[in-house]
């Protein structure tokens, strides 16, 4: 018997073998699958189960009523100053405890009863409400356009050219007032961010102890904050000056410093960078010693102190300025000059 003689159903396995491995593509991959078939609950088919559910709901509502009565009774029964011991709370006000407990039970039982009623006894048939077409009918659209044309003709917008043109002028000029307000963002810092209190020969002072720092004070993995010698918290412009001069110092194994210039500007792996974030100027304070990354807490800009203070994450636009340091004859760390570039965001000062 040839395959043509075999009834179509018997021939099916052979046909399936032939198409094995091919993925069937439905005609409409986004077809509405519709609602799953409704599965009746036990309460839908067993009246006894439905009555049990009803009694459970009624029990919870009754409990709520009793708790409300208890709430009112507690209010009358307990004196305000009566203290009782209740495990594990300890000594508490009897009135507050009674009011809180009864109120909680009353509210919980109303909610639980309502949920149980909805889940077991109310109809659970899903109902579909088809959306009406969003587009208006051609008649409505034509009516809207006609209303607009009528309104334009009534307003005399085309006829009253003087009024129309002066209106355009007023609308065009008005935004200029907002532009003028931008002046209040100033004054521009000009070159003030280009100079800080750091200068050649100024020792690095520990900002906590106000003592000059020696190389041996800086251990690998620590983060030290410093400011220039000669500054005092009592100076009238201290806040202005420290906002530019704040320094952070870390010690990195020289082999781990990737940037050649950074290595030249350091002393035996001790590197000093501006503490002021180059995004919008927050003080940086979080140091991760394994990776040599510092993180700005404001918007999470992250800088690699082993790679020239380069930005490796976040919104900051450029690397942290480095301060060139050395050790003087007395063995103290000192600056070899000011920062070579403006600290902080310094949008106006970078070429």
Residues in the site for ligand FES, rule: CB under 6 A?
A: 277, 279-282, 296, 298-299, 301, 314-316
CA distances from 321 to 169, 207, 274, 335 (A): 49, 19, 6, 13
User: φ and ψ at 222, to 5 degrees?
Assistant: -90, 160
Is 196 or 301 the residue whose CB approaches ligand FES more closely?
Answer: 301
CB of 344 vs ligand FES, minimal distance in Å: 9
CB of 338 vs ligand FES, minimal distance in Å: 22
Is 120 or 302 the residue whose CB approaches ligand FES more closely?
Answer: 302
CB of 199 vs ligand FES, minimal distance in Å: 27
CB of 62 vs ligand FES, minimal distance in Å: 60
CB of 295 vs ligand FES, minimal distance in Å: 9
| Structure-token match 């009555």, residue found | 51
Q: Which helix (H) or strand (E) holds 302?
A: strand 302-304
Tell me 57's DSSP state. H
CB of 301 vs ligand FES, minimal distance in Å: 3
CB of 111 vs ligand FES, minimal distance in Å: 46
CB of 351 vs ligand FES, minimal distance in Å: 22
What are the structure tokens assigned to 129, written together?
Answer: 């409400």
Q: By C-alpha distance, which of 247, 255, 215 is closest to 229?
A: 247
Length of the chain: 351
Is 160 or 299 the residue whose CB approaches ligand FES more closely?
Answer: 299
Rounded distance, CA 122 to CA 246, Å?
A: 69
Q: By C-alpha distance, which of 303, 309, 323 is closest to 245?
A: 323
Is 272 or 296 the residue whose CB approaches ligand FES more closely?
Answer: 296
CB of 327 vs ligand FES, minimal distance in Å: 31
Contact predicate 296/287, CB 8 Å: no
108: Cβ contacts below 8 Å, ≥ 6 apart:
64
Is 266 or 322 the residue whose CB approaches ligand FES more closely?
Answer: 322
Contact predicate 201/228, CB 8 Å: no
Q: By C-alpha distance, which of 109, 2, 132, 124 is closest to 59?
A: 109
Is 215 or 314 the residue whose CB approaches ligand FES more closely?
Answer: 314
CA distances from 75 to 17, 200, 249 (A): 80, 78, 65
Is 117 or 287 the residue whose CB approaches ligand FES more closely?
Answer: 287
Is 100 or 283 the residue whose CB approaches ligand FES more closely?
Answer: 283
Q: Within the chain, where are the H helices?
A: 12-18, 42-45, 47-77, 94-120, 138-155, 161-173, 175-181, 238-245, 260-264
Is 215 or 281 the residue whose CB approaches ligand FES more closely?
Answer: 281
């Amino acid at each position: 018997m040839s395959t043509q003689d075999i009834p179509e159903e018997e021939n099916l396995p052979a046909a399936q073998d032939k198409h094995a491995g091919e993925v069937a593509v439905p005609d409409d991959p986004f077809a509405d699958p519709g609602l799953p078939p409704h599965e009746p609950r036990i309460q839908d088919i067993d009246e006894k189960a439905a009555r049990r559910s009803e009694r459970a709901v009624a029990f919870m509502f009754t409990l709520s009523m009793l708790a409300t009565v208890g709430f009112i009774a507690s209010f009358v029964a307990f004196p305000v100053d009566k203290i009782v011991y209740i495990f594990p709370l300890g000594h508490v006000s009897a009135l507050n405890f009674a009011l809180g407990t009864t109120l909680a039970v009353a509210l919980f039982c109303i909610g639980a009863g309502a949920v149980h009623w909805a889940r077991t006894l109310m109809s659970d048939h899903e109902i579909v409400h088809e959306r009406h077409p969003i587009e208006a009918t051609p008649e409505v659209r034509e009516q809207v356009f006609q209303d607009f044309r009528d309104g334009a003709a009534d307003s005399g917008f085309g006829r009253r050219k003087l009024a129309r043109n002066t209106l355009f002028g007023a609308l065009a000029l008005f935004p200029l007032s907002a532009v003028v307000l931008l002046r209040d963002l100033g004054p521009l810092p000009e070159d003030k961010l280009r100079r800080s209190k750091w200068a050649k020969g100024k020792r690095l002072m520990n900002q906590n102890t106000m003592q000059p720092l020696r190389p041996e004070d800086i251990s690998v993995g620590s983060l030290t904050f410093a400011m220039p010698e000669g500054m005092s918290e009592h100076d009238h412009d201290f806040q202005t000056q420290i906002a530019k001069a704040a320094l952070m110092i870390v010690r990195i194994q020289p082999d781990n410093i990737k940037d050649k210039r950074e290595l030249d500007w350091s002393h035996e792996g001790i590197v000093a960078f501006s503490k002021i974030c180059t995004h919008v100027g927050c003080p940086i304070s979080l140091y991760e010693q394994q990776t040599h990354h510092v993180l700005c807490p404001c918007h999470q800009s992250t800088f690699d102190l082993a790679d020239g203070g380069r930005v490796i994450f976040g919104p900051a636009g450029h690397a942290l300025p480095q301060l060139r340091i050395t050790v003087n004859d007395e063995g103290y760390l000192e600056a070899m000059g000011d920062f070579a570039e403006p600290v902080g965001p310094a949008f106006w000062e970078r070429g």
